Amino acid sequence: MAPPMPPAVRLVNLSRRFGSIRAVDDVTLDVAEGEFFAMLGPSGSGKTTCLRLIAGFEQPSKGHIEIFGETAEGVPPYKRNVNTVFQDYALFPHMTVGENVAYGLKIKGIARAEREAKARDALAMVKLAGYEDRRPAQLSGGQRQRVALSRALVNGPKVLLLDEPLGALDLKLREQMQEELRALQKELGITFVLVTHDQGEALSMANRVAIFKDGRIVQVGSPEDVYERPQSRFVADFVGSSNVLSPAFASSHGGAAKWTSLRPEKIGVFPAGALAPAENAHADGDIKMINYQGSVTRFSVEAEDMRITAELRGDAERFNEGDSVRLIWPLSAMVTMEDDA
């Protein structure tokens, strides 16, 4: 039997302190080869430092990093077989787009004709064929982002690190790039590690998501796992801002006496006194706020001392702020959390 493949990236008890701040605190994680892995968390949660440790821009205070089985701590970034797409792209302003993309190949000593051909192909891959002679300053944000991507990919990295790559783009472009990045990752089969604070981005693009809080990973799992089965109040709230029900509220509504997550879209809003079907729980309250968002409408309802958010699709115009309503949700929608942090 062949020995098992080493993981693309392995972090073992990894810590990075800046003075007294523990930016990354005892993180242990395996990223498998070919995976699209997302590190999700609010700003200051340590996800970017974690990525910088993998890239080699930071050295760990403690712990161990392996990239395809090779020890990476102490190895400078230019000797690691990973490439990074930077948040603000970091394209060299004094080089043309073509020179930017060919930079890594030039450093490796690849002959001019070959590296120019490869740079052309890499630009064509991100739909920027023919942009070789422009300057980065002449490109739009989305185009710069593509150049940054092809500048990293042209080197054939084993792992591609993406630091908030879509952060500076507007919504429409961001959605389009999300799709393209996914397609590109599938096509190339390279391991992608994405850092983002946007839970929608992480859920829609990644195979697996790690959620960071205060330098630690609080949950790792598939997008469905972390969304449907959050293990802590933090995850429930951060990923898709779920309702976090207190143990008392949960147990009096057919759940366990533990902190419980209830997704807004699982809750139906009905006129007061409406009958709840079997296997459903209900709570009565008043609408405090209606927030119309186009495809959905969010209701903030005060029911039995809890502020509960419900999300309806379409036909929500029959309710007004101040109306008394009954909230009804299936018992199965209540997800008990083990960790009350």
Partner 1 sequence: MSQVATAEAGDGVLDKISDVLIARPKLLTLLLLLPPLLWIGIVYVGSLFALLLQSFYSLDYFSGLIVREFTLSTYKQLLEEANFQIILRTVTMAALVTLACSVIAFPIAYYAARYARGWTKAFFYLAVMMPLWSSYLVKVYAWKLILAKEGIVTWFAESVHLAWLLNGILALPVIGGPSLSFSYIGTFLVFVYVWIPYMILPVQAALERVPTNYLEASADLGATPKQTFWTVVFPLALPGIVAGSIFTFSLTLGDYIIPQIVGNSRLFIGQAVYTLQGTAGNIPLAAAFTVVPMIIMGFYLWMAKRMGAFDVL
Q: Is the dihedral of CA 124, 130, 136, 138 positive or negative?
A: negative
Residues near partner 1 (CB under 8 A), total: 23
Among 6, 34, 77, 268, interactor with partner 1 by CB under 8 A: 77
Contact 34, 26 (CB under 8 A): no
Among 12, 32, 75, 90, interactor with partner 1 by CB under 8 A: 90
Contact 37, 191 (CB under 8 A): yes
Q: Does 151 help bind partner 1 (rule: CB under 8 A)?
A: yes
In the complex with partner 1, the residue whose CB is nearer, 109 or 294, is 109
**Min separation Cβ 77 and partner 1, Å:** 4
Write out the binding residues for partner 1, residues 273-312 only, by CB under 8 A.
none
Q: Does 84 help bind partner 1 (rule: CB under 8 A)?
A: yes
Distance separating alpha carbons of residues 104 and 171, to the nearest angstrom: 31
Among 93, 189, 294, 314, interactor with partner 1 by CB under 8 A: 93
**Min separation Cβ 103 and partner 1, Å:** 5
In the complex with partner 1, the residue whose CB is nearer, 5 or 92, is 92
Q: Does 104 help bind partner 1 (rule: CB under 8 A)?
A: yes
- How open is the CA angle 61-67-69, to the nearest 5 degrees? 110
Write out the binding residues for partner 1, residues 226-255 only, by CB under 8 A.
none
Q: Does 70 help bind partner 1 (rule: CB under 8 A)?
A: no
Q: Does 192 help bind partner 1 (rule: CB under 8 A)?
A: no
Q: Does 191 help bind partner 1 (rule: CB under 8 A)?
A: no
**Min separation Cβ 51 and partner 1, Å:** 11
Q: Which residues pair with 271 in a beta bridge?
A: 325
In the complex with partner 1, the residue whose CB is nearer, 111 or 331, is 111
Nearest to 184 by CA among 157, 203, 211, 163: 157
Neighbours of 106 (CB within 10 A): 15
- How open is the CA angle 55-13-238, to the nearest 5 degrees? 75
Distance separating alpha carbons of residues 190 and 304, to the nearest angstrom: 51
Q: Does 267 help bind partner 1 (rule: CB under 8 A)?
A: no
Q: Does 63 help bind partner 1 (rule: CB under 8 A)?
A: no
**Min separation Cβ 230 and partner 1, Å:** 34
Tokens 């008890």 label which residue?
13
In the complex with partner 1, the residue whose CB is nearer, 53 or 328, is 53
Stretch touching partner 1 by CB under 8 A, among 8-16, 148-156, 210-218, 324-332: 148-156
Sheet with 296-303: list strands edge to edge.
Answer: 268-271, 324-330, 280-292, 296-303, 306-313
Tokens describing residue 310: 């419900």
Stretch touching partner 1 by CB under 8 A, among 55-63, 67-75, 298-306, 327-335: 55-63
Contact 163, 83 (CB under 8 A): no
Contact 85, 148 (CB under 8 A): yes
In the complex with partner 1, the residue whose CB is nearer, 82 or 202, is 82
Q: Does 168 help bind partner 1 (rule: CB under 8 A)?
A: no
Q: Give 93-153 as a DSSP string.
A: TTS-HHHHHHHHHHHTT--HHHHHHHHHHHHHHTT-TT-TTS-GGGS-HHHHHHHHHHHHH
Residues forming contacts to partner 1 in the complex (CB under 8 A) are 55-57, 76-78, 82-84, 86, 88, 90-94, 103-104, 107-108, 151-152, 155
